[in-house]
Amino acid sequence: MMQSVAAQRAAQLRAEIERHSHQYYVLDAPLIPDAEYDRLFRELQALEAEHPELSSLDTPTLRVGGKILDGFAPVRHAVAMLSIRTETDISDGGALAFDGRVKRELEQPGAEIEYICELKFDGLAINLRYEKGLLVQAATRGDGESGEDVTQNIRTIRQIPLRLKDCAAPVLEVRGEAYMARRDFERYNEKQRELGLPTLVNPRNGAAGSIRQLDPALAARRPLSFFAYGLGEVQGWALPATHSGILDALAAFGVPVCAERAVVRGAAGLVAFHQRVAEKRDALPFDIDGVVYKVNSLALQAQLGFITREPRWAVAHKFPAEEQLTVVRDIDIQVGRTGKLTPVAKLEPVFVGGTTVSNATLHNEDETRRKDVRIGDTVIVRRAGDVIPEVVGVVLDPSIPQGERKEEYRFDLFKRLGGKCPVCGSHIVREAGEADWRCAGGLFCPAQRKQALLHFASRRAMDVEGLGDKLVEQLVDGGLIRTLPDLYRLDLATLAGLERMAEKSAQNILNALEKSKQATLNRFLFALGIRHVGETTAKDLACYFGKLDAIMQATPEQLLNVPDVGPVVAQSLVDFFAEPHNREVVQQLRALGVSWQEHEGTSGQVLPLTGKTFVLTGTLPSMSRDEARAKLEALGAKVAGSVSKKTDFVVAGAEAGSKLSRAQELGVPVLDEAGLVDLLSELL
Ligand code: IVH
């Protein structure tokens, strides 16, 4: 490139990068996906490498992290917080290149090096300083030399021990990543959407915002988690010989360390880990953007040393990005099971998070208006885990003045639909205090009918294997099914006559339908698709009343006696069963042979474990976790997913992880399988 052109481009890139880092680090409101930022950053790095004369002291490539916010005291790191190099090749080649470099630097071309593989957590780097075992300070990375004192906010992360177990070293700095679990992110956004308030862009942004939130009470509203991956300053503690030894020791001190780590040998070991994690990525409870390989021996690490600010003994090997830019071709409106109208962006197909995405949810009208997404806009799309892809925000073309985006073209759901359901033409309503518009057509609306059937047949409801999208579509569109009971009136000839159905598959569906008739009260109740009655509420109701008729006849006051049932749920149940059509559906389903065991219920009577909360973790030697859960629930216990002060017992099996350490930290009694069996037999 010509010198003057290069200089111009460099200046342009610096300005862009500065603008985006300010948006990201200071305002917590990124305008472009990380991958796009990285691309700009790498382009500038490459340009400066090619034209060293262009480098200047104010170039963003010379600074590691963000800017220090006003309001937090600065902390000078005793040992600089470095970053790691990212392999640019995201195929297996990345692992091979790293292994090759390590062996070359060590002058051991034929050796099989031992590595530790970890996940690359997508959050915010934090340094936790423990003195004599006590947490005295927590700091962000900042520019690597100094960060911000965020001790107060870090204390709200309940997984982080305030005191180390069995470690009184004068100084032990633990480094790791504070992150927001996907569930916590989804829950927070769900609540914000209901309130019509801004949502978080992604979990990492949520973590950054939460930690740099000046009010610790607000920070605590956005729950974070933590995983340790290394050390800072250490005094008075004899280091193990390996990095894996360090992580094991930290775990023993009660610091959360991710169980998803492995000591492997050679490039083949790195590749195998990368592949294994890539397959699991969607199922993980948190976002990762890749894996990290580290030479395991500390002696070899020392021999390898650093180049500028990056260790030669570690590297990040990334996965495909979970956020990408694309263009909105159209905005469709989909009708859900309860008539909820969801705006969905039809996108120029884009490869994101490992698959090609062409639809992304915009959630609801307010959200779409707030983000101001319009047809033709360039948007950031996010797809992470098994969550539905969503439009995170719009990237406005800086060359078009804001004024050009006329208010009258802002998304307006009612206007767009002309006030009518796009599927059945019924009128649409949005009740006061509700975030969603709904089609008022009920089961008259084919879209609602399809969704209701799919829900009824789903695994956690009646579990009718093989009754999927395509089949339901044909059944409803062909007028073969109008109500739920019609499902059980299907015959072989009708089913076999459908597209893509042979006699055998038709028979399989009939068998599955027959099998589904042996239900349980809670599954049946859940399957009916009553608004606000999820799986847990259905269980609570079934357990409390024992009989369907008792639930159908219950008054709001009686329903409110059920633990965890509030006024909204109670009203929704009363409304549902007041509707003659719904009573008719129930009666017909029973007449067609759908049945379950009824019992006396617990209303009035208290089961031996009522009010007690259990958490199950790890693998029990002979019982599956589902069996243990069923036994406990039958005695009235609640089985929760995470350990808190309110947990009465933790039942731990082999390879129990952070839940067990949390229980020990809080002094919650821990049972093994034998202990659980003893307890159950005492009570039965
Ligand atoms: S090791 C000297 N391990 O990735 C090596 N970093 O540039 C220090 N990160 O912001 C880092 N997961 O916060 C390491 N398992 C892991 C990591 C990890 C995420 C972050 C780290 C830093 C960036 C590295």
The 10s digit of each residue's pLDDT in 127-161 is: 999 999 999 999 999 989 999 999 888 888 878 88
The structural domain count of the chain equals: 6
The pLDDT assigned to 219 comes to: 67
| Together in a domain, 205 and 350 | no
Assess whether the C-beta atom of 184 lies below 6 angstroms from ligand 1.
no
Residue 82 resides in a domain: no
Residue type present at position 677:
V
Could you tell me the distance, in angstroms and rounded to a whole number, from the CA of residue 80 to the centre of ligand 1? 13
Confidence category of residue 69, pLDDT binned at 50, 70, 90: very low
Exposure string of 183-221, with b = 16+ CB inside 10 Å and e = fewer, is bbbeebbeeebeeeeebbbbbbbbbbbbbbbeeeeebbe
Is a pLDDT exceeding 60 seen at residue 181? yes
**What is the distance in angstroms between the CA of the first residue and the CA of the last residue of the chain?**
81
Assess whether the C-beta atom of 80 lies below 6 angstroms from ligand 1.
no
Assess whether the C-beta atom of 246 lies below 6 angstroms from ligand 1.
no
Could you tell me the distance, in angstroms and rounded to a whole number, from the CA of residue 84 to the centre of ligand 1? 6
Assess whether the C-beta atom of 118 lies below 6 angstroms from ligand 1.
yes
Q: What value does the mean pLDDT take over residues 39-65?
A: 75
| Together in a domain, 481 and 368 | no
Assess whether the C-beta atom of 121 lies below 6 angstroms from ligand 1.
yes
Domain CATH code at residue 292: 3.30.470.30
Secondary structure (DSSP) of 494-549: HHHTSTT--HHHHHHHHHHHHHHTB--HHHHHHHTT-TT--HHHHHHHHHHH-SHH
Could you tell me the distance, in angstroms and rounded to a whole number, from the CA of residue 584 to the centre of ligand 1? 60
- Return the axis-axis angle of helices 625-634 and 673-683, rounded to nearest 10°: 20
Contact 301, 310 (CB under 8 A): no
Q: Which of 516, 542, 560 is the endpoint of a domain?
A: 516
Write the DSSP symbol of residue 481.
-
Cα R_g (the chain), whole angstroms: 29
Residue 173 resides in a domain: yes
Q: What value does the mean pLDDT take over residues 368-391?
A: 92
Of the two residues 123 and 162, the one the predictor is more confident about is 123
Domain CATH code at residue 23: 1.10.287.610
Domain CATH code at residue 368: 2.40.50.140
Other CB atoms within a 10 A radius of the CB of residue 567 amount to 10
Could you tell me the distance, in angstroms and rounded to a whole number, from the CA of residue 455 to the centre of ligand 1? 42
Q: How far apart are CA 461 and CA 524, in angstroms?
A: 7
| Together in a domain, 209 and 349 | no
Q: How far apart are CA 206 and CA 567, in angstroms?
A: 31
Q: Which range among 70-74, 101-105, 181-185, 196-200 has the greatest average pLDDT?
A: 101-105
Atom of ligand 1 nearest to the CA of 86: 7
Q: Which of helix, strand or coil describes residue 350?
A: strand
Q: Which of helix, strand or coil describes residue 227?
A: strand
Residue to substitute in 83, 87, 298 for testing ligand 1 pocket (most ligand atoms within 8 angstroms of CB): 83
Is a pLDDT exceeding 70 seen at residue 104? yes
Q: Which of 568, 596, 624 is the endpoint of a domain?
A: 596
Q: How far apart are CA 436 and CA 55, in angstroms?
A: 52
Residue 111 resides in a domain: yes
Is a pLDDT exceeding 60 seen at residue 662? yes
Beta strands in 81-179 (DSSP E): 85-87, 114-121, 124-131, 134-140, 146-148, 171-179
Q: How far apart are CA 441 and CA 3, in angstroms?
A: 67
Residue to substitute in 85, 121, 243, 288 for testing ligand 1 pocket (most ligand atoms within 8 angstroms of CB): 121
Assess whether the C-beta atom of 81 lies below 6 angstroms from ligand 1.
no
Confidence category of residue 57, pLDDT binned at 50, 70, 90: low
Is a pLDDT exceeding 70 seen at residue 4? yes
Q: What value does the mean pLDDT take over residues 208-233?
A: 83
Q: How far is CA 533 from the centre of its chain?
A: 22
Smallest CA separation from ligand 1 atom 10, residue = 125
| Together in a domain, 266 and 225 | yes
Residue 84 resides in a domain: no
Assess whether the C-beta atom of 289 lies below 6 angstroms from ligand 1.
no
Contact 288, 281 (CB under 8 A): yes
pTM score, whole prediction: 0.70
Smallest CA separation from ligand 1 atom 2, residue = 82
Q: What value does the mean pLDDT take over residues 417-423?
A: 96
Q: Which range among 89-93, 195-199, 481-485 has the greatest average pLDDT?
A: 481-485
Domain CATH code at residue 469: 1.10.150.20
Residue 67 resides in a domain: no
Confidence category of residue 468, pLDDT binned at 50, 70, 90: very high
Provide the H-helix boundaries in 178-242.
Answer: 182-194, 203-211, 216-221
Identify the bridge partners of residue 360 per DSSP, sorted by sequence position: 345
Q: How far apart are CA 573 and CA 580, in angstroms?
A: 13
Q: Closest by alpha carbon to 599, among 517, 519, 521? A: 521
What backbone torsions phi and psi does residue 598 show, to the nearest 5 degrees? -100, 155
Q: What value does the mean pLDDT take over residues 434-460?
A: 93
Is a pLDDT exceeding 50 seen at residue 67? no
| Together in a domain, 224 and 153 | yes
Residue type present at position 181:
A
Residue type present at position 38:
D
Strands 613-617 and 649-652: parallel
Is a pLDDT exceeding 90 seen at residue 295? yes
Contact 389, 383 (CB under 8 A): yes
| Together in a domain, 232 and 266 | yes
Average pLDDT in the chain:
90
Contact 128, 184 (CB under 8 A): no
| Together in a domain, 143 and 278 | yes
Q: How far apart are CA 169 and CA 131, in angstroms?
A: 7
| Together in a domain, 577 and 641 | no
Assess whether the C-beta atom of 352 lies below 6 angstroms from ligand 1.
no
pLDDT digits (tens, 9 = 90+) for 332-376: 999 999 899 999 999 999 999 888 999 999 999 999 999 999 999
Write the DSSP symbol of residue 25.
I
Smallest CA separation from ligand 1 atom 22, residue = 83
* Tokens 């079934």 sit on residue: 542
Q: How far apart are CA 605 and CA 390, in angstroms?
A: 46
Q: Which residues contact 86 (CB under 8 A, 6 or more apart)?
A: 290, 315, 316, 317, 318
| Together in a domain, 146 and 174 | yes
| Together in a domain, 19 and 148 | no
Q: Which of helix, strand or coil describes residue 253?
A: coil
Could you tell me the distance, in angstroms and rounded to a whole number, from the CA of residue 313 to the centre of ligand 1? 12
Q: How far apart are CA 412 and CA 502, in angstroms?
A: 45
Residue 428 resides in a domain: no
Contact 585, 485 (CB under 8 A): yes
Contact 159, 658 (CB under 8 A): yes
Q: How far apart are CA 3 and CA 7, in angstroms?
A: 6
| Together in a domain, 510 and 548 | no
Q: Which of 301, 318, 335 is the endpoint of a domain?
A: 318
The pLDDT assigned to 66 comes to: 40
| Together in a domain, 636 and 666 | yes
Burial of 552 (0-12, 13-18, 19+ CB in 10 A): middle
Low-confidence winner among 228-237, 242-251, 554-563 (lowest mean pLDDT): 554-563
Domain CATH code at residue 617: 3.40.50.10190
Catalytic positions: 120
Beta strands in 54-107 (DSSP E): 74-76, 85-87
Residue 160 resides in a domain: yes
Could you tell me the distance, in angstroms and rounded to a whole number, from the CA of residue 120 to the centre of ligand 1? 7
Assess whether the C-beta atom of 83 lies below 6 angstroms from ligand 1.
yes
Residue 267 resides in a domain: yes
| Containing structural domain, residue 506 | 443-516
Q: What value does the mean pLDDT take over residues 585-596?
A: 96
Could you tell me the distance, in angstroms and rounded to a whole number, from the CA of residue 315 to the centre of ligand 1? 9
